[in-house]
């Protein structure tokens, strides 16, 4: 999967090249671990990742947006920017429009932009699985 930061940069570059007055690209990454039980035994284990991307394009005082979930690559984010920008160009001006916040220094407590997202793996469930193993053994008797 293409890194989230690359999607953001590709979206912002596409919007700038298309003449957008502003653009926001939000990438939400998630992961979770699953364990299923049947007949007092684990039957299925797995780790899943998920991604959703939202693009908000600004043209003058008008705004358009596009959102998708799943495996989104360079082409997908370009299509999203184009769609959001087309919507913004057809939308009436927002009554509550105001300028975007200018780029600046991130607060010290913020997570560095270039880091990969944290991933969940099956080890987070080891304590639960260990505790259940004893209970399942007793249930077999």
Query: What CATH number does residue 92 fall under?
Result: 3.30.2290.10
Q: Which two tokens stand for residue 95?
A: 């009554």
**Residue 56 lies in domain:** 4-140
Q: For residues 52 and 135, which has the higher predicted lDDT (pLDDT)?
A: 52
CB atoms within 10 A of CB 136: 15
Q: What is the mean pLDDT of the chain?
A: 86
Quote the number of domains for the chain.
1
SS3 35: strand
**98 falls in which pLDDT band (50, 70, 90)?**
confident
Instruction: Give the pLDDT mean for 91-106.
Output: 83
């Amino acid at each position: 999967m293409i890194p989230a930061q690359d999607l953001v940069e590709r979206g912002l570059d596409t919007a700038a090249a298309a003449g957008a007055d502003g653009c926001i690209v939000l990438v939400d990454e998630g992961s979770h671990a699953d364990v299923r039980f049947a007949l007092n035994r684990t039957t299925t284990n797995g780790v899943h990742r998920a991604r959703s991307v939202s693009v908000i394009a600004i043209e003058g005082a008008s705004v358009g947006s596009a959102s998708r979930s799943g495996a989104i690559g360079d082409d997908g984010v370009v299509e999203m920017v184009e769609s959001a920008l087309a919507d913004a160009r057809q939308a009436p001006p927002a009554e509550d429009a105001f300028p975007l916040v200018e780029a600046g220094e991130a607060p010290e407590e913020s997570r560095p932009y270039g880091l990969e997202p944290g991933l969940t793996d099956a080890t987070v469930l080891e304590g639960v699985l260990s505790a259940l193993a004893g209970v399942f053994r007793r249930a077999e008797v």
